[in-house]
Amino acid sequence: MSKAKQAMRPKLAREGFFGRFGYFFVRALANLRQNVFTSVVTVGTITLALLIAALFLLVYVNLEGMAEGWSDKVQVTAYFDREPAPLAVAALKGRVKALPGTSKVAFVTKQEAEKRLRGRLKGQESLLEGISPEVLPASLEIRLDRGHRESAAVASYVAALKQLPGITEVQYGEEWVQRFNTFMNFFRLVGALLGSFLGLAVLFIVSNTIKLTIYARKDELELLGLVGATRFFIKAPFLIEGVLQGALGAVLSLVALFVCYYAFLHNAGNFLSVNPAAEGLSFLPVTHVAALLCGGVLLGFIGSLTSLRRFINV
């Protein structure tokens, strides 16, 4: 490069990394102030795009939590032809707990089974006239851990359970388990597809919006190139500007999401038959909030980087 071009380059107030970064940061802020309308449009687009993604993520997280709660209802019930003695019950419970996948075991006596039946038929006790506890079988109620609630795992567990002495019948709602697992697999697949599509759509929208802001300042870019500015010197302020816009858009989207969440939480009881707070509806975990903030920064950075390709060779 000629000495004339080197002499025409802008001088930094301070040398070194912090001096250069401070200069680029100040230039990025100046660009934002000079192009208020385009900056507002860009931040608004990022905010709206991330808000859509955050709303989808909020629904997904809460549905996943509800699904986990439903999966806790997967229960295996083993019935005895004769009620075993207390010592035999303790031994059987120990053997059941030793089976892989067992989370919790409870023994239900014939008297307890009758009490439960009467509780479920409250108001219709006449249906139980003449029925004694001896008619109902004693049983073991078994809860499975989360790793053994798939259809194949439950079937394998039931097969091992039937090998224990004294157990004559095992029930676990096979059809319900299969439907539940099918629903969960379909739900995760749809979530992955929609999440991927939404991510690509957001990146496309943000990239093209930032491209418009850079296109409006193409004369500035060309002028900087003519006076001998390096590609990094030209790109750095725009990249920092994109990062700031992405970060601001992410923060605004989270604020809007929290407002929507708070309003829904306190007004859903007026048009829903359930109370969302009582059902455990929760806001996004901290990790997801951090991911959205990082996503906004990355969107702004990648959007600026891809948009600059049209004007500056990388």
- 290 pLDDT band, cuts 50/70/90, is very high
Region 240-256 average pLDDT? 90
Supply the DSSP string of 96-141, one letter for each residue: HHHSTTEEEEEEE-HHHHHHHHHHHTTT-GGGGTT--GGGSPPEEE
- 253 pLDDT band, cuts 50/70/90, is very high
For the full predicted model, state whether its pTM sits above 0.85: no
Q: Tokens standing for 209? A: 């919006």
- 5 pLDDT band, cuts 50/70/90, is very low
Could you give the CA distance from residue 76 to residue 143 in angstroms, rounded to a whole number? 7
- 261 pLDDT band, cuts 50/70/90, is confident
Q: Is the pLDDT of residue 82 over 70?
A: yes
Higher per-residue confidence, 234 vs 71: 234
Q: Is the pLDDT of residue 2 over 50?
A: no
Q: Which of 178, 183, 187, 115 is closest to 149 using CA atoms?
A: 178
Q: Is the pLDDT of residue 130 over 70?
A: no
Beta bridge partners of residue 106, listed in sequence order: 141
Sign of the Cα torsion 41, 43, 46, 47 reads negative
- Domains of the chain, first to last: 15-69+181-308 (no CATH), 75-171 (3.30.70.3040)
Q: What is the pLDDT of residue 255?
A: 93
Q: Is the pLDDT of residue 89 over 50?
A: yes
Q: pLDDT > 90: what percent of the chain?
A: 4
Question: Position of tokens 């739900």?
Answer: 187
Reduced to 3 states (helix: H, G, I; strand: E, B; else coil), residue 44 is helix
Q: Tokens standing for 98? A: 């030793």
Q: Is the pLDDT of residue 38 over 70?
A: yes
Q: Are 249 and 46 in contact (CB under 8 A)?
A: yes
25: left (phi over 0), alpha (psi -120 to 50) or beta: alpha
Q: Which of 288, 285, 214, 282 is closest to 250 using CA atoms?
A: 288
Residues 6+ apart with CB under 8 A from 94: none
- Residue range 159-173, pLDDT digits in tens: 888 888 888 888 876
Higher per-residue confidence, 90 vs 135: 90
- 256 pLDDT band, cuts 50/70/90, is very high
- Give, to the nearest 10 degrees, the angle between helix 286-308 and helix 231-267: 140
Q: Is the pLDDT of residue 142 over 80?
A: yes
Q: What is the pLDDT of residue 114?
A: 74
Q: Is the pLDDT of residue 250 over 50?
A: yes
Could you give the CA distance from residue 8 to residue 1 in angstroms, rounded to a whole number? 11
Beta bridge partners of residue 141, listed in sequence order: 77, 106
Q: What is the pLDDT of residue 7?
A: 44
Region 184-202 average pLDDT? 77
Q: Is the pLDDT of residue 252 over 90?
A: yes
Q: Is the pLDDT of residue 226 over 70?
A: yes
Question: Position of tokens 């992410």?
Answer: 250
Region 42-71 average pLDDT? 79
Q: Is the pLDDT of residue 73 over 80?
A: no
Reduced to 3 states (helix: H, G, I; strand: E, B; else coil), residue 51 is helix
Question: Position of tokens 């075991």?
Answer: 105
Supply the DSSP string of 204-264, one letter for each residue: HHHHHHHHHHHHTTHHHHHHHHHTT--HHHHHHHHHHHHHHHHHHHHHHHHHHHHHHHHHH
